[in-house]
Amino acid sequence: MYSFNVHGIGCGTCVRKITAAINNFDDEAVVEVDVAGGVVGVDSELEPREIRRVIEDAGYAVSAGAGAAQ
């Protein structure tokens, strides 16, 4: 699972938007979002750089260095 520090997550709508964006590219991806901590965990066949781009394209800022495997 890859972990990303994501800015701007504030509600369930944000969670659904990020999850849907990732699932649009990998429909079997497992996405876990910690709204309070601003962390998105993704278990996917996608590369971390691809996941980061998808999150950013959905309108959220991802911290530099994010995408570490856990």
Please state the domain extents for the chain.
Answer: 8-61
Q: Provide the terminal-to-terminal Cα distance of the chain, rounded to the nearest Å.
A: 5
Q: Which residues of the chain have pLDDT under 50?
A: none
pTM passes above 0.85: yes
CATH architecture of the domain covering 8-61: 2-Layer Sandwich (3.30)
Length of the chain, in residues? 70
Query: Residue 69: what pLDDT?
Result: 62
**pLDDT given at position 22:** 98
30-34-37-42 Cα dihedral, nearest 10 degrees: 0
